[in-house]
């Protein structure tokens, strides 16, 4: 039985690419590349700080990775512009199938487990109206280690009281799906970019769009010796998947 359905936030329920409109407006011509480098470095910094035992919460890491990105691109900016871009992380757009999918699963415990800081997550969840749908919004912050450390995933049982075997964890992030699987959760990975679409983007491989490079690094299932239990293409597949899992 799946007693709890637990979601990753960034990239899974919330579209991190939705910052591109703000970055393009703020720094014309650089909207997309800022978005991609920012997100790549944001995750890297979460892993590096975890390994170095130099934890800072995700709001600090989000700011530091944005500062890195703007510096590398040689872009000048003032603090107003910086705050406008970073503020978008508190108002990311939900993927369109989030609300109907969560509505269809209200008989289960529903939660988020995210690298985000408690303040970031509470604000984001409230701003998007998801607070009414969720039983818990769990930040890894109390562990001072980011996903995919097992300590992060252990918070699901300690906060929801549901053992790993009765949890379905959903993430579009391949490294997160693998980390959850390594910990022992049931895992559904959302494949947002198919292998066929990915390969096609590289037919001319000497120049690529920043999005193509991002997709190549961050959207395909990783070679980490672990396989998610399920591969889906949209959140709307979940109610049917759970029914099949339980039968």
Question: Which residues ranging from 122 to 161 are in contact with its own copies (CB under 8 A)?
Answer: 145-146, 148-150
Cβ nearer to its own copies, comparing 42 with 101: 42
Annotated active-site residue 97? The verdict is no
Complex with its own copies: residue 18 or 68, whichever CB lies closer: 68
| Residue tagged 């239990």 (tokens) | 229
User: How many residues of this chain interact with its own copies, rule: CB under 8 A?
Assistant: 56
Interacting residues with its own copies between 27 and 46 (CB under 8 A): 29-30, 32-33, 37, 40-41, 44-45
Question: Is 65 an interacting residue with respect to its own copies (CB under 8 A)?
Answer: yes
By the rule CB under 8 A, 175 interacts with its own copies: yes
Question: Is 198 a residue that touches its own copies (CB under 8 A)?
Answer: yes
By the 10 Å C-beta count (0-12 exposed, 13-18 middle, 19+ buried), 136 is classed as: middle
Give the Cα separation of 93 and 22 in Å (integer).
12
How far from 110 is each of 2, 3, 138, 219, 242, CA to CA, in Å? 11, 9, 11, 24, 13
- Binding window for its own copies (CB under 8 A); candidates: 24-32, 123-131, 133-141, 154-162: 24-32
CB of 78 to its own copies, least distance (A): 18
Among the listed residues 3, 64, 97, 135, the single contact to its own copies using CB under 8 A:
64
Residue 94 and residue 130 in contact, taking contact as beta carbons nearer than 8 Å: yes
**Is 147 within 8 Å of 42 (Cβ atoms)?**
no
The answer to whether the beta carbons of residues 163 and 157 sit under 8 Å apart is yes
Whole-number Å distance between alpha carbons of 152 and 144: 9
Shortest CB 164 distance to its own copies, Å: 15
Close Cβ partners of 239 (under 8 Å, ≥ 6 residues apart): 101, 104, 105
CA–CA separation, 126 and 179 (whole Å): 27
Residue among 47 and 241 whose Cβ is closer to its own copies: 47
Please give the positions annotated as active site. Answer: 8
Binding site for its own copies (CB under 8 A): 29-30, 32-33, 37, 40-41, 44-45, 47-54, 56, 64-65, 67-68, 71-74, 145-146, 148-150, 175, 178-179, 182, 195-196, 198-200, 202, 205-210, 213, 216-217, 220, 222-226
């Amino acid at each position: 039985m799946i007693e709890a359905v637990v979601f990753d936030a960034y990239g899974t329920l919330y579209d991190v690419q939705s910052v591109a409109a703000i970055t393009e407006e703020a720094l014309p011509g650089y909207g997309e590349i800022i978005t991609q480098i920012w997100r790549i470095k944001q995750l890297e910094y979460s892993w590096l700080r975890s390994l170095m035992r130099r934890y800072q919460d995700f709001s600090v890491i989000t700011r530091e990775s944005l500062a890195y990105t703007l510096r590398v691109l040689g872009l000048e900016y003032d603090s107003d512009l910086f705050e406008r871009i970073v503020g978008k992380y508190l108002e990311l757009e939900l993927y369109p199938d989030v609300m109907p999918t969560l509505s269809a699963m209200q008989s289960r415990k529903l939660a988020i487990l995210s690298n985000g800081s408690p303040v970031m997550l509470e604000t984001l969840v409230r701003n998007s109206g998801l607070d009414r749908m969720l039983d818990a919004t769990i930040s890894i912050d109390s562990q001072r280690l980011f996903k995919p450390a097992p300590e992060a995933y252990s918070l699901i049982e300690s906060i929801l009281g549901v053992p790993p075997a009765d949890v379905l964890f959903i993430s579009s992030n391949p490294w997160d799906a693998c980390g959850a699987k390594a910990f022992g959760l049931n895992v559904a990975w959302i494949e947002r970019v198919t292998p066929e679409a990915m390969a096609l983007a590289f037919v001319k491989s000497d120049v690529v769009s920043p999005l193509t490079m991002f997709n190549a690094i961050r959207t395909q299932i990783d070679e980490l010796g672990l396989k998610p239990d399920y591969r889906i293409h949209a959140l709307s597949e979940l109610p049917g998947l759970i029914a099949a899992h339980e039968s």
